[in-house]
């Protein structure tokens, strides 16, 4: 999937996401705080850019067993050079810039799958479950990605509000760790985890997710066919 954010065209092959990378979020999910980065993969069909709708699948909406979809706002970075087995001190040489990312999650489905020792794949990878934008802020624009205010509003009311300084694993450590397991190529996206305050969304809701020095993405939630 090719898409443009600002003046930059990117072509990701994958999206790697950190789980439980803020202590308070791990606590609210009643999960253990990880000792090393916990990551999972989202696929490119999830990606939508600023202003496009988030689709709440009828498969979930009409099923009481699965009818909870949650928002998770995250700082993402975009890979600029092929990355494999890199060192922590080299990390910023492989990053092109930063963006706002939403890891939309079918929460009841995720919990059900996890309780049966199934992977998280299906709960994370419905179409439109990975909004990103409104631009890629170049790495030169942001002196310290670990001191950015991050927040999310639903229908104008703040749900999530934190600062990237509270990430457990910082960006150099994340990228060095991920590159041990998989080769990242230019355009790939890495989402660094969400702070506390995640909550459910419904068709008709309007979500605004913002990070200082990057901007705000706005998405309406609609019911799918």
CATH of the domain at 199: 3.90.850.10
Q: Is the dihedral of CA 29, 25, 89, 189 positive or negative?
A: positive
Q: Where are the beta strands (DSSP E) in 43-198?
A: 47-49, 54-56, 69-71, 73-79, 95-102, 105-106, 130-138, 149-154, 157-163, 189-191
Task: Enter the tokens of residue 118.
Answer: 């199934």
Task: Enter the tokens of residue 69.
Answer: 């979809």
The structure's pTM equals 0.96
What's the domain count of the chain? Answer: 1
Task: Enter the tokens of residue 55.
Answer: 């689709």
Q: CB neighbours of 208 closer than 8 A, spacing ≥ 6?
A: 152, 153, 156, 216, 217, 218
Residue 8, pLDDT above cutoff 90: no
Residue 167, domain extent: 3-223
| Inter-CA distances, 123 with 42, 72, 76, 106, 204, Å | 10, 13, 20, 5, 21
Residue 46, pLDDT above cutoff 90: yes
Among 199, 196, 191, 198, residue whose Cα is nearest residue 27 = 196
Task: Enter the tokens of residue 174.
Answer: 């994340």
Q: Which residue has the higher pLDDT, 108 or 7?
A: 108
Q: CB neighbours of 188 closer than 8 A, spacing ≥ 6?
A: 12, 13, 14, 15, 16, 78, 79
Q: pLDDT tens across 139-197, in order?
A: 999 999 999 999 999 999 999 999 999 999 999 999 999 999 999 999 999 999 999 99
Longest dimension (CA), the chain: 49
Q: pLDDT tens across 79-138, in order?
A: 999 999 999 999 999 999 999 999 999 999 999 998 999 988 999 999 999 999 999 999
In the prediction, which pLDDT does 5 show?
62
| Inter-CA distances, 157 with 69, 132, 190, 197, Å | 17, 20, 27, 12
Q: Give the CA radius of gyration of the chain.
A: 16
């Amino acid at each position: 999937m090719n898409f443009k954010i600002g003046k930059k065209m990117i072509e990701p092959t994958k999206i790697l996401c950190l789980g439980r990378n803020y202590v308070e979020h791990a606590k609210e999910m009643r999960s253990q705080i990880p000792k090393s980065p916990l990551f999972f993969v989202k696929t490119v069909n999830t990606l939508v850019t600023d202003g496009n709708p988030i689709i709440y699948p009828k498969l979930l909406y009409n099923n009481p067993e699965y009818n909870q979809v949650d928002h998770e706002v995250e700082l993402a970075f975009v890979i600029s050079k092929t990355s494999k087995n890199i060192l922590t001190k080299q990390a910023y040489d492989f990053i092109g810039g930063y963006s706002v990312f939403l890891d939309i999650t079918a929460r009841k489905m995720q919990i059900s799958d996890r309780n049966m020792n199934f992977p998280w794949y299906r709960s994370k990878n419905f179409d439109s479950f990975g909004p990103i934008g409104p631009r890629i802020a170049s790495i030169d624009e942001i002196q310290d990605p670990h001191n950015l205010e991050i927040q999310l509003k639903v229908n104008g009311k703040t749900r999530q509000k934190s600062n990237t300084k509270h990430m457990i694993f910082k960006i150099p450590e994340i990228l060095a760790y991920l590159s041990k397991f998989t080769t990242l190529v230019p355009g790939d996206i890495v989402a660094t985890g969400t702070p506390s305050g995640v909550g459910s969304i419904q068709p008709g809701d309007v979500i605004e997710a913002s990070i200082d020095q990057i901007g705000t993405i706005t998405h309406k939630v609609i019911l799918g066919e």
